[in-house]
Amino acid sequence: MYSNPSNEAIKELLRNAKTIAVVGLSDKPDRTSYQVSAYMQKQGYKIIPVNPQITSSLGEKAYPDLQSVPVPIDIVNIFRRSEEVAGVVEAAIQVGAKAVWAQQGVRDDEAAKEAVKHGLFTVMDQCIAVAHSVLVK
């Protein structure tokens, strides 16, 4: 089973990251993906919505997939079902993202191992907003 990095390592990632591409970000304020991303945006991160079903969220243009994002990505935050993580990790590797972060309740140990093998900082089954509020604030 894959083990997440230490809290110190996670704190370092969150302190140095600037851009978070959120795969599965909704444009509906009552959705967890929106609330978590709004929190991270308020903390100063550039949020990039990645969802083919919407045109924008949180005042930012949405992109249909990671390959369409025109800027370097520090963290790919995954708000998809666990069975979709492998495909997102593969895309994150292709676009040269620095990290993948699967939200609480989302986990794929094999995809995590693949991400690590390709040099991506990898977190599974943890809320990025909770981690930020506990470790960075």
Walk along the chain (137 residues) and give the pLDDT tens digit of each residue: 899 999 999 999 999 999 999 999 999 999 999 999 999 999 999 999 999 999 999 999 999 999 999 999 999 999 999 999 999 999 999 999 999 999 999 999 999 999 999 999 999 999 999 999 999 97
Domains and CATH numbers, the chain: 7-135 (3.40.50.720)
| pLDDT on residue 137 | 73
Amino acid at 133: S
CB of 64 within 8 A of CB of 52?
A: yes
The Cβ-side half-sphere exposure at 111, using a 13 Å CA radius, reads 24
Give the C-alpha separation, 25 to 4, whole Å. 23
| pLDDT on residue 67 | 98
